[in-house]
Amino acid sequence: MLIYRTFLLFLVLIYQIYSDPINIEMLIRCDLSIAHYCGKLVYYEMDYQGQHDVFKTHQFCSDYEYQQFQYEKFWPGGDPGKEYEFSFTLEHNCTLTGQRLCIRPHQYVRKYIDGEQYVEFYVKAYNRGENFDCLLLMYRTLLLYVFVISMIYGDPINLEILIRCDSSIKFYCGHIIFYEVDVLPGSHDNFKTDRYCTDEVWEELKYPPISLGGDASPVEWTSELTDTQTDKKFQTYEFSYELRHNCTTDGLVRCVNPRQEIQAAANKEQNVELYAKLFNRGGYPNC
């Protein structure tokens, strides 16, 4: 019996430390009025014991409104849970006065540890952020998991998505569904649907503030956001989308689902900014 217990413990440990590779991509949007700016990106995986695991630091300068970074795949080394929670800080001077500000989204991207994963971040930097040390700001909040059945009453959500096609496509259309993730299979809460057509490579869709009215779904777990300065705990929403489009070389409709969730605190008004690269991406025809 002791041998089997030892073997079982060994399997659990292997499961905790094993993981498949992660591919990280970041799109930063500045402004045409800024000729040159610099920044420092710090990527980390959330740690619920009060200290986050930094896995990538990147300093850069740019002369472009849109600056994209793609990094070599890396192996985080596993996690005791079934998911990773990725986020970042950006210290930058993409500002009207040249002042350096720190952006630390009150959101993170959740990914399963099994299978190769693609994490895509998008941040609008122009004049955004706090006059604060990014290193200190990263440790101001802590996410905790609790096993409860809850009702989440949230403040308005400011939703926008930046869509990127390709210059070879002269005209295309799309149908997008935004939803709040429910851990119960097949029971996501759709809260916004939109259709559009455009002849632009970049298409930005912005929506009036959306009040979701809470989430009463019975879940296996919910998340709470704890501000270590005020000791207040706030629960969260998890957002994602499906986008059917014909931004394709063959004109056939594909469906893009990023397979990642943006988690945002439900305690106050939030800006949820999504990014979708469409060109020849997605399944035929379903997500």
Q: Are 68 and 93 in contact (CB under 8 A)?
A: no
pLDDT tens digit string along 190-246?
A: 889 999 999 999 999 999 998 876 554 433 334 444 444 444 555 678 889 999 999
For residues 57 and 187, state if they share a domain. no
Task: Among 90, 109, 139, give the residue marking a domain's end.
Answer: 139
For residues 103 and 86, state if they share a domain. yes
For residues 63 and 109, state if they share a domain. yes
CA distance 244 to 235: 31
Task: Among 139, 172, 199, give the residue marking a domain's end.
Answer: 139
Question: Which residue is associated with the tokens 């630091």?
Answer: 57
CA distance 47 to 63: 35
Could you tell me which residue, 41 or 77, shows the higher pLDDT? 41
- Written as six digits, the tokens of 95 are 């500002």
Which structural domain range is residue 53 located in? 1-139
Look at 35-44, 55-64, 109-118, 274-283 and tell me which has the smallest mean pLDDT. Answer: 109-118
3-state secondary structure the chain: CHHHHHHHHHHHHHHHHCCCCEEEEEEEECCCCCCCEEEEEEEEECCCCCCCEEEEEEEEEECCCEEEEECCCECCCCCCCCEEEEEEEEEECCCCCCCCEEECCCEEEEEECCCCEEEEEEEECCCCCECCCHHHHCCCEEEEEECCCCCECCCCEEEEEEEECCCCCCCEEEEEEEEECCCCCCCCEEEEEEEEEECCCEEEEECCCECCCCECCCCCCEEEEEECCCCCEEEEEEEEEEEEECCCCCCCCEEECCCCEEEEECCCCEEEEEEEECCCCCECCCC
Closest CA to 221 of 36, 30, 85: 85
For residues 99 and 155, state if they share a domain. no
CA distance 60 to 42: 12
For residues 239 and 155, state if they share a domain. yes
For residues 147 and 95, state if they share a domain. no
For residues 168 and 232, state if they share a domain. yes
Task: Among 108, 139, 170, give the residue marking a domain's end.
Answer: 139
For residues 100 and 241, state if they share a domain. no
Look at 90-99, 159-168, 219-228 and tell me which has the smallest mean pLDDT. Answer: 219-228
Mean residue pLDDT across the chain: 79
